[in-house]
């Protein structure tokens, strides 16, 4: 396919109001342990795939043995007409300063330290965003959390992830024992089911898609979640046009069948696609950090992004 071949280049290090490079997100970026020392608040994470420099954007003052809120952003790689790869226009309009302001605001809302963890290939981290949702991405983010935990002496994490970031949050919940709560917005948590839905939707002429057999599927590993389990909040819009709502509901049902008690909150996603729930998951995480729990958080989120006709939407 045109525009399919990637041409990775050495990792750039944008600072302040310098914008992120869409070409880098499209093609990938390379780095090494020494180069990573020049990247602010970054960690070199070795892995079987060779490792990556994972950049973070912290805010607030961590307390030894305390909580930290961590945000994982969604995908920015899209498919245009004919399957052409492209990067969402909003990506190149963001800067490190924008993310730091966002994290500072979130930290104040939650009265807790907050951190934006840049996924491989995005927002100043090296790696290949085109290989998202695979076990390599999960391992890199998991390894970065280990480094963050040591540096800031964090005891427990509150994780929040939108869409593809929600895939990572669900994956980390399967692997870690230090997650106090997980907030998953419009999450790609039943990855194989969604990849097959994408295949069917695009048809033969829609261009290449991810191989369902190559992705790490969080729903297939929920039996590995530690006990006592973290509090899991799954935020969905039944009208989501990007990640099918039923795939998110199936994940909640699988958690319940495993003896867990996730809270499934139906909300109105932003935009025409009704997919974006980034603000509600951050609000939920901030409320949790301040001491609120299940019912109070659910009520606050429904007030923040109410469905227009909840009785007519798919049931919880």
For helices 245-257 and 191-202, the axis angle rounded to 10 degrees is: 160
User: Could you give the CA distance from residue 58 to residue 163 in angstroms, rounded to a whole number?
Assistant: 21
Q: Terminus-to-terminus CA distance in the chain, angstroms?
A: 41
Q: What are phi and psi of 25, to 5 degrees?
A: -65, -30
**Helices and strands of the chain, counted as H and E runs:** 9, 12
CA distance readout (Å), 202 to 206, 207, 209, 236: 5, 8, 9, 23
**Domain segments of the chain: what residues?**
9-312
Q: Is 78 helix (H, G, I), strand (E, B) or coil?
A: strand
**pLDDT tens for the chain, residues 1 to 316:** 444 668 899 999 999 999 999 999 999 999 999 999 999 999 999 999 899 999 999 999 988 889 999 999 999 998 777 678 899 999 999 999 999 999 999 999 999 999 999 999 999 999 999 999 999 999 999 999 999 999 999 999 999 999 999 999 999 999 999 999 999 999 999 999 998 888 777 665 455 566 777 899 999 999 999 999 999 999 999 999 999 999 999 999 999 999 999 999 999 999 999 999 999 999 999 999 999 999 999 999 999 999 987 644 554 4
Show Cβ contacts of residue 124 under 8 Å, excluding neighbours closer than 6 positions: 11, 12, 13, 14, 20, 39, 42, 55, 96, 118
CB atoms within 10 A of CB 250: 15
Show Cβ contacts of residue 309 under 8 Å, excluding neighbours closer than 6 positions: none
For helices 96-110 and 278-289, the axis angle rounded to 10 degrees is: 40
Q: Strand 77-79 to strand 85-87: parallel, antiparallel, or no bridges (unpaired)?
A: antiparallel
Task: Quote the distance between the C-alpha of residue 116 and its chain's center.
Answer: 10
User: Could you give the CA distance from residue 115 to residue 102 in angstroms, rounded to a whole number?
Assistant: 10
pTM of the model: 0.94
Q: Answer yes or no: CATH 3.40.109.10 is held by domain 9-312.
A: no
CB atoms within 10 A of CB 201: 10
């Amino acid at each position: 396919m045109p525009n399919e071949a990637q041409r990775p280049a050495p990792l750039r290090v944008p600072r302040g109001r310098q914008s992120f490079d869409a070409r880098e997100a499209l093609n990938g970026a390379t780095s090494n342990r020494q180069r990573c020392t020049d990247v602010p608040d970054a960690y070199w994470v070795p892995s079987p795939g060779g490792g990556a420099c994972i950049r973070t954007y912290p805010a607030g003052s961590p307390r030894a043995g305390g909580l930290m809120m961590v945000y994982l952003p969604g995908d920015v790689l899209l498919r245009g007409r004919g399957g052409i790869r492209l990067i969402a226009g909003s990506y190149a309009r963001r800067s490190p300063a924008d993310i730091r302001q966002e994290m500072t605001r979130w930290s104040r809302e939650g009265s807790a330290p907050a951190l934006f963890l840049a996924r491989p290939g995005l927002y100043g981290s090296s790696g290949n965003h085109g290989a998202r949702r695979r076990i390599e991405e999960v391992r890199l983010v998991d390894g970065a959390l280990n480094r963050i935990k040591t540096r800031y002496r964090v005891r427990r994490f509150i994780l929040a992830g939108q869409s593809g970031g929600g895939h990572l949050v669900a994956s980390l919940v399967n692997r870690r024992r230090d997650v106090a709560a997980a907030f998953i917005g419009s999450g790609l948590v039943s990855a194989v089911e969604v990849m097959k839905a994408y295949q069917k939707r695009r048809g033969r002429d829609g261009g290449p898609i991810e191989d369902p057999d190559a992705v790490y599927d969080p729903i297939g590993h929920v039996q590995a979640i530690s006990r006592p389990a973290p509090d899991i909040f799954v935020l969905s819009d039944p009208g989501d046009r990007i990640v099918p709502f039923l795939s998110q509901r199936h994940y909640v049902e699988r958690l319940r069948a495993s003896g867990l008690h996730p809270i499934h909150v139906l909300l109105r996603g932003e935009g025409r696609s009704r997919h974006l729930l980034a603000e509600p998951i951050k609000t939920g995480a901030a409320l949790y950090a301040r001491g609120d729990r299940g019912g109070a958080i659910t009520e606050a989120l429904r007030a923040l992004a109410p469905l227009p006709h909840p009785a007519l939407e798919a049931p919880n």
